[in-house]
Amino acid sequence: MPDLFSSISSNPYFNAGLGLVGITSVLAVIRRGAISSSKHIYRYYTTTLEVNRNDKSFEWVLQWLSNSKAVRTSHKSVSTDIFQDQDGKMQMRHIFPPAIGPHFFKYKGHYIKVERSRASPQVSQYGHVPFETIQFMTLGRNSRILEQLICDARNEALDLQKGKTLTYIPDSAAWRVFGHPRVLRPLDSVILDDDVVENIISDITEFIGSAEWYRTRGIPHRRGYLLYGPPGCGKTSLITAISSSLSYNICQLGLGEPGLTDDRFQFLLNTAPLQSLIVLEDVDAVLYDVEQAKRAYRLTHSGLLNALDGIVSSEQRIIFMTTNFFEKLDKALIRPGRVDYKQYIGCLTKSQISRMFQKFYSGVDFEFSNQFVERVLDLNLELTPAQLQAYMLRYKNDPKLSCQNVAEIRRI
């Protein structure tokens, strides 16, 4: 037996193997210790803040990272933004946020690690959207510095949106900004029949300022408006101008969209951004057959009614509905409590034609304007504002030719 141990201990291969096992064991212990130490440091000596794509602040943070001079990295991604300037011209700009992966920067005396990570795409009716998160980490246990960073990103984003109208559309999980911020549209750019605009503005302004009155009387603070009439008469333009006048944004929702179920519709109404007008387009497109709607994953008529004034309906809500076919609407939909203000937006009257001409060609002689109006009326057409505007755009710099060639309106 002693000879056996002596033989084994003197074997160079055994000694080499034993040494390798020993080194491996030591390295494993060191590795476990390092992992344990790093977890301990991460848990007790760092502060983290995570923002995911579904949160409203995600775009703010991404834009802040792109604009901040503190975040300097040679690894970037590109995002192209199309926007409208104060003159109404479309402009394009590129922003360069940090690429996917970790980056380091200094913010108000604190060293911060920021890491963008991306997972499998989310599927929505608007395509595949990568699910992405941005995580900030800094040493210490005080989260105020990271909270301040988010506030700075928010303030910078809101400053860029001042004087603009945002349009939101429904995404898979919530509302998201669609397109570019639009320059505010003045109320006098929408020329409707006498006092139509003024009466709606007066009503909606009084409603917004009466929140306390509604609360003390236990009345739900929500109001519904219905704009109906032929297409091209200014329903959407009026809503856009009203939102600009109130400094509100627009949440646009087509009720005929596939995938808009009763539950999803209720969720969207209750999670709409504050200070927004919710626009329900084509309310006549809702399916009355419950089984057919369920098979098509569509909103049902009862689902629409319950969402508008049911038990779980949200407060402080302003809804605008539009339709081209008022006669198709169910009386239950347009009763008070669901629709509180109805307004017909029809074809052009004599007054509207005159005001449109004077607005288009500022400074024209009043008699010349009357001549144009009479020639248009002689055509005996049911003319919409969209049609008349399309015609006048042909002669936007020449009111005389516009007056002479009114017969061309028939071909529009």
**Average confidence (pLDDT) over 170-178:** 78
Pseudo-torsion of CA 256, 260, 262, 264, nearest 10°?
-150
CA of residue 360 relative to chain centroid, distance: 32
Q: According to the per-residue pLDDT averaged within each range, which of 11-15, 176-180, 335-339 is highest? A: 335-339
Q: Residue 224: its pLDDT value, please?
A: 95
213 has pLDDT over 70: yes
C-alpha span between 303 and 269 (Å, rounded): 12
Other CB atoms within a 10 A radius of the CB of residue 287 amount to: 19
392 has pLDDT over 90: yes
289 has pLDDT over 90: no
Closest residue by Cα to residue 202 from 234, 178, 225, 179: 225
Q: Residue 409: its pLDDT value, please?
A: 92
Local structure of residue 109 (DSSP, 8 states): T
Given a contact cutoff of 8 angstroms between Cβ atoms, the answer to whether 138 and 110 are in contact is yes
SS3 call for 304 = helix
Query: Which tokens belong to 251?
Result: 């949440």
C-alpha span between 366 and 389 (Å, rounded): 19
Q: Which residue has 């071909």 as its token pair?
A: 411
Q: Residue 160: its pLDDT value, please?
A: 77
Distance (Å) of CA 46 to CA 39, 181, 220, 268, 403: 10, 38, 46, 37, 74
More confident residue, 10 or 57: 57
Return mean pLDDT, the chain: 81
- pLDDT tens digits, one per residue of 240-250: 999 999 999 99
Query: Which tokens belong to 378?
Result: 């002689």
SS3 call for 320 = strand
Where are the domain boundaries for CATH 3.40.50.300 in the chain? 181-344
Given a contact cutoff of 8 angstroms between Cβ atoms, the answer to whether 341 and 222 are in contact is no
**Average confidence (pLDDT) over 12-39:** 55
Q: Residue 362: its pLDDT value, please?
A: 86
Given a contact cutoff of 8 angstroms between Cβ atoms, the answer to whether 62 and 153 are in contact is no
More confident residue, 286 or 277: 277
C-alpha span between 167 and 254 (Å, rounded): 13
Q: Residue 35: its pLDDT value, please?
A: 55
Given a contact cutoff of 8 angstroms between Cβ atoms, the answer to whether 207 and 222 are in contact is no
Closest residue by Cα to residue 328 from 357, 291, 301, 294: 301
SS3 call for 99 = coil
Q: Residue 125: its pLDDT value, please?
A: 47
Q: Residue 14: its pLDDT value, please?
A: 43
Contacts 24+ apart (CB under 8 A), 329-337: 329/283, 329/284, 330/288, 330/301, 332/305, 333/283, 333/301, 333/304, 333/305, 333/308, 334/226, 337/224, 337/309
Given a contact cutoff of 8 angstroms between Cβ atoms, the answer to whether 348 and 384 are in contact is yes
- pLDDT tens digits, one per residue of 75-110: 667 766 665 555 555 566 666 778 888 888 888 888
- pLDDT tens digits, one per residue of 255-277: 877 778 888 888 899 888 889 99
DSSP per position, 322-370: EES-GGGS-TTTSSTTT--EEEE--SPPHHHHHHHHHHHSTT--HHHHH
Q: Residue 129: its pLDDT value, please?
A: 57
Q: Residue 48: its pLDDT value, please?
A: 87
Q: Residue 36: its pLDDT value, please?
A: 53
- The proportion of the chain whose per-residue pLDDT surpasses 90, expressed as a percent, equals 36
Predicted model pTM: 0.74
Q: Which CATH architecture has domain 181-344?
A: 3-Layer(aba) Sandwich (3.40)
Q: Residue 243: its pLDDT value, please?
A: 95
Q: Residue 359: its pLDDT value, please?
A: 92
- 7 φ, ψ (degrees, to nearest 5): -65, -40
Given a contact cutoff of 8 angstroms between Cβ atoms, the answer to whether 144 and 227 are in contact is no
270 CB contacts (<8 Å, ≥6 apart)?
312, 313, 314
More confident residue, 342 or 119: 342
40 has pLDDT over 70: no
